Amino acid sequence: MIALGPLFQEINLQHFDGCLDPPQMVWNSRLRSSAGRFIPGSLRFFRAKPPVIEIASYLREEGEAAALIRDTLAHEMIHYWLWVRRQPYGHTDAFYRKMREMGVSRYNPVPRLPAPKYLYRCPVCLKDFPARRKLGVLACLECCRNQANGKFDHRFKLELIQQLR
């Protein structure tokens, strides 16, 4: 099995002057809509969580798995690098500039599911809400039900945490 840690350090040295701290890296067997994703961390005191790069497990079964995994990790590392630098970390001009500079090709897997475009998250129970379109002001139904007598409560307002490719 390909270890993500050493691969991260290799790409880190090659393209980021070794200046990136490794985020949490996980294989995600449920990730089917994309090859990988970057989930920003949080520095909030009570809910500090590390940034995460997820790589879809199914890549390991594709032909040329090593190259696909490398490209996918490199791609997610650009998101992470922008985020570390406190820049918008979506597919911005800066993103594509870095991508060209690195010579990373984009692996576009055939989506196994209709791909959600936005990822929202309840800040309290951390449940994910993938969405095909941008949502208005919505709160986590379950948290409102359990902790606010079913009424809308700003504490449970869904946060847009990532715009997916």
Which residues contact Zn ion by CB under 5 A?
Answer: 122, 124-125, 140, 143, 165
The phi, psi pair for 51, rounded to 5°, reads -65, 150
Beta carbon of residue 19, minimum distance to Zn ion (angstroms, whole number) = 20
Q: What is the DSSP letter of 52?
A: E
Beta carbon of residue 142, minimum distance to Zn ion (angstroms, whole number) = 5
Beta carbon of residue 37, minimum distance to Zn ion (angstroms, whole number) = 8
CA-to-CA distance for 3 and 43, rounded, in angstroms?
27
CA-to-CA distance for 147 and 161, rounded, in angstroms?
23
Q: Given CA atoms 161, 123, 80, 68 in this order, what sign does their dihedral have?
A: negative
Beta carbon of residue 164, minimum distance to Zn ion (angstroms, whole number) = 7
Beta carbon of residue 140, minimum distance to Zn ion (angstroms, whole number) = 3
Considering the complex, state which of residue 117 and residue 165 has its C-beta at the smaller distance from Zn ion: 165
Residue 19: CB atoms within 10 Å: 9
Considering the complex, state which of residue 119 and residue 143 has its C-beta at the smaller distance from Zn ion: 143
Considering the complex, state which of residue 1 and residue 46 has its C-beta at the smaller distance from Zn ion: 46
Considering the complex, state which of residue 45 and residue 108 has its C-beta at the smaller distance from Zn ion: 108
Considering the complex, state which of residue 39 and residue 140 has its C-beta at the smaller distance from Zn ion: 140
CA-to-CA distance for 150 and 1, rounded, in angstroms?
46
Distance, first Cα to last Cα, the chain: 26
